[in-house]
Structure 1
Amino acid sequence: MFHAIVVKKAAALSSDQAILDLIGYKHLIADKRMPLIGITGVTSSLLITVLNYHEPLAIYSGTALIAILSHLGIYLKVAKPINEQLSSAAVSIVIPATIRLLQLRWDSIIVYRAIILAVAILALIIGSFVGS
């Protein structure tokens, strides 16, 4: 969400070299560390849904699960290939001629990804109140 609110604009104002250095290495590190968070979100939402399938809580945790899986789908189809290109370029210290286009494409989906994650979080929060 921070990227959608802050980094997107900062990257647009930055030089190509700055984008390569910061965004390229950010993706290199994040793509190694974030899968654990994603797996935890999918697993916990799935478990809450399965264990409470007769309860109203299952509707909310199921909504969160669908949102997280949707986010994952968008990431895998659009963001991950861009992340790999920018990470590779950062490591090799070669600015791609398409760096602005890559960043614009990545930025074009980040607001949607942030909204989808907000829906998942809100569904789990509401579900925790409904379920108690």
Structure 2
Amino acid sequence: MLVLTGQFLAALAVLANAVVYGTDWCAALITRSVYRRLDDASVTVSAGWGHYYGDKRMPIFGAGGVVTAALTLIVAAVSGHSGAAVAAAVALAALVAWLALYVKVAKPVNTAQKAAAQSGVIPADARALQDRWDSIINLRVALQFIALSGLLAALALF
């Protein structure tokens, strides 16, 4: 029964984190290039409203992915599946690192851009804000890749 529970949790963690991974990839591959072609006001308003909706809709996937990864690790360890436990631990470490980057770098930018979009007042450092957000997107993608790889490995090793 623990094996099935672990596999189920790992699958849920993969699905939740895949949403975040796909969103980050979209930002890295498409949105960043689009924003480079727009004026500061357009970038800020577009990103601000994007963060407004993202901050309302994405936490269930981000938090759900971290929680299910942690539960996968616990079940793997308790059930004696050391390979799955190590893989889940790697995934969880990557997710915690991703979350730290988000809180330290991306979230303050999101907050500033949301406020600008809602008020219509474009900050003088609008381009610098977006550049700061963009500066970690490749690392965020890499951390999500590591997390998903670890979770898939955990799923396979149960």
Give the structure-1-normalised TM-score.
Answer: 0.95
Which residue of structure 2 lines up, in the alignment, with residue 8 of structure 1?
Answer: 32
Q: Partner residue of 1:24?
A: 48
1:35 corresponds to which residue? 59
CA distance in 1 between counterparts of 2:51 and 2:150 reads: 28
Give the one of 108, 117, 122 matched to 1:90.
117
Q: Give the number of aligned pairs.
A: 131
**Runs of 5+ in structure 1 lacking a partner?**
none
Q: Which residue of 2 aligns with 1:48?
A: 72
Calculate the aligned-residue CA RMSD, in Å: 1.0
Percent identical: 34
Cα displacement string for residues 14-70 of structure 1 (whole angstroms, at most 9, x for unaligned residues): 112221221110011111221111111111111110011121101111111111111
CA distance in 1, matches of 2:89, 2:53: 30
Distance in 1 between residues matched to 2:142 and 2:29, nearest whole Å = 11
Partner of 2:106: 79
CA distance in 2: counterparts of 1:39 and 1:109, whole angstroms? 20
Unaligned runs of 5+ in 2: 1-24
**Residue aligned with 1:65, SS:** helix
One-letter code aligned to 1:5: L
The alpha-carbon deviation at position 122 of structure 1 amounts to 1.1
4+ residue stretches of structure 1 with deviation over 3 A? none
